[in-house]
Structure 1
Amino acid sequence: MAEAYPTEGRPRRRGRKVLIGFLVLLLVLAGLLVVADRVAAGVAERAIADQVRQEVAKQDAQSAAPKVEVGGFPFLNQVLAGRYERISIQLTDVKGSVQGDTVDVPRLDVDARDVTASLDTIRSGRGDVVAERVDGRGTVTYDSLAKLLKRPGLTLGERDGKLAVTAPVDILGVKLTVNGTAAVTVADGKVALRFSDLTADGLPNVALARTLLANYARSISIDVPLPELPFQLNVRKVEPRPEGLVVTADAANVPLNSAR
């Protein structure tokens, strides 16, 4: 008669089921933690967006509702540490004032790095939120820039990476269309436009006509102040692009919720 031996497979299968169940539980808990982390980040993003909206209003500017994204994961660890890797802010349809004229900035992207804010500040909205470094990039429309030059009919645009101008002029009783480009630089927080080598088809071939054209070039070669940028951003570079004059700016140690 054959001797019966205990089967060892069942305990092993039962052990595998317990392990699988434990792993599934861990995955569920991890998923819940990720969801909670993103929910908390969303609450912070809405609170920061509201503060940004208030700061924009303080500068007599307007914009669409700010979009805020808090970078870095996990967010809750950053909350406990009171330090955030990155906060990205996007402002669209920004309208600022320069010498009584409205300057349109279709989009302004702000990237704040190494931001410090206490847990109480995030919860209550009171206290300092300070970024170690802030980088900004915005676009000024050519139409609003041309208005600042106060020359009827003058239009600006981009041509081969340069700021191009087209304008009607009257030289010695002859109505002409002037074309040319300008050197664009930043000086003391202003955009310096220096037009040179303007041309006009049909320009009378006399010295006086050429002098009058040169005088016109000097009259539109001005330093254009930009609207005050939020977060104490200082303009560092301007570059003509097809969509407008792209402005690059930065600042250090910036209070994001009390910018002047």
Structure 2
Amino acid sequence: MITFIVLLLIVGALLAVADRVAASYAERTISDRVAQQVADQKGTSEQPDVTIEGFPFLTQVARGLYHEIKIELADFSGPAGEGRTIRMKLLDVRANDVRAPLSTIRSGDGQITAGTVTGTGLIDYAQIGQLIGQPGVTLGEQNGKLVGSAPVQVLGQTVKVSATAAIKVNGDTVQVSFSDVKAEGLPDNALVRGLVNSYVQKLAFNLKVPALPLNLKLKSVEPQADGLKITAGATDVALNSAGL
């Protein structure tokens, strides 16, 4: 009986090791393919860190269904038009309900698809301020909204003007315009309002989000304490090009 128990423990340990070896191989394969996809889109990042969630891995292989694959791309950057580059410290991608029949993995024929893919990243305010190109502009979040402020020369004096931004997603572009302007210490008349509003209109900007891997498309933008959080998504994504 003792010998039998020892054998069971050894077999269990060997299966656990085999499971992790198989998972690590699949994770490396996905990482290499995603890195290649980023490069093909003229982007850069650290080597993607891939984790296939769930244990045991081989059971998921046998069923042909993977609950979640986590792909983290540190220092992601990509072209944003007009010679600009957008950088994110981390692009966090999650592929859920991945269907990969064992026959497809063996033969390479057929489709490997993810029911949903979601990606999130943060574009910091300092970077956005540089893209606006207006000196002295600062951006931040207040009560869930994007606010901007800047020093403005009006009637021979410098005053601080602040405004609230409206954010709109149009394809792969974030469109930002400002309204609800406040300027303390200035007379409230048509001339002053016209001068201030004219300046604030110059703060409006479009921010093109770089091409993202795995067919991710921009869905929403949310102001955070330190930057604009972008959320991208896709459904029924063919992952064969990303490897499994």
TM-score by length of 1: 0.82
Map of 1:38 onto structure 2? 20
Partners of 1:144 and 1:235 in 2: CA distance: 19
**Aligned amino acid, residue 36 of structure 1:** A
| Alpha-carbon distance between aligned partners in 1 of 2:43 and 2:104, rounded to the nearest angstrom | 25
Aligned: 1:63 with 2:35 = no
How many angstroms does 1:173 deviate by?
3.7
Q: What stretches of structure 2 of length at least 5 have no aligned partner? A: none
Q: Is the 8 A contact 1:52 1:256 kept in 2?
A: no
Deviations 1:28-81 (A, max 9, x none): 211211111011101111111011111111111111111000122221233344
The one-letter amino acid paired with 2:135 is P
1:221 is aligned with what amino acid?
A: A
Match of 1:72 in 2: 54
- Paired residues in the alignment total 241
1:94-129 per-position Cα deviation (integer Å, ceiling 9, x unaligned): 112212212121111111012234668768999864
Question: Quick one: which of 126, 129, 148 aligns to 1:146?
Answer: 129
Name 1:232's counterpart in structure 2: 215
Q: Are residues 1:90 and 2:59 paired?
A: no
Shift of 1:246: 0.9
| Separation (CA, whole Å) in 2 of partners of 1:170 and 1:96 | 36
Q: Which moved more, 1:111-120 or 1:161-170?
A: 111-120
Structure 1 unpaired stretches of 5+:
1-17
What's the Cα RMSD here?
2.5
Whose Rg is larger?
1
Percent of pairs with identical residues: 47
Which one scores higher on RCO, CA 8 angstroms, separation ≥ 6?
2
Shift, 1:190, TM fit: 2.5
CA distance in structure 1 between the partners assigned to 2:193 and 2:216 by the alignment? 41
Residue of structure 2 equivalent to 1:250: 233
Name the counterpart of 1:219: 202
Q: Output the CA distance in 2 between the equivalents of 1:120 and 1:105.
A: 38
| 1:201-216 paired onto structure 2 within 5 Å | 201-216=184-199
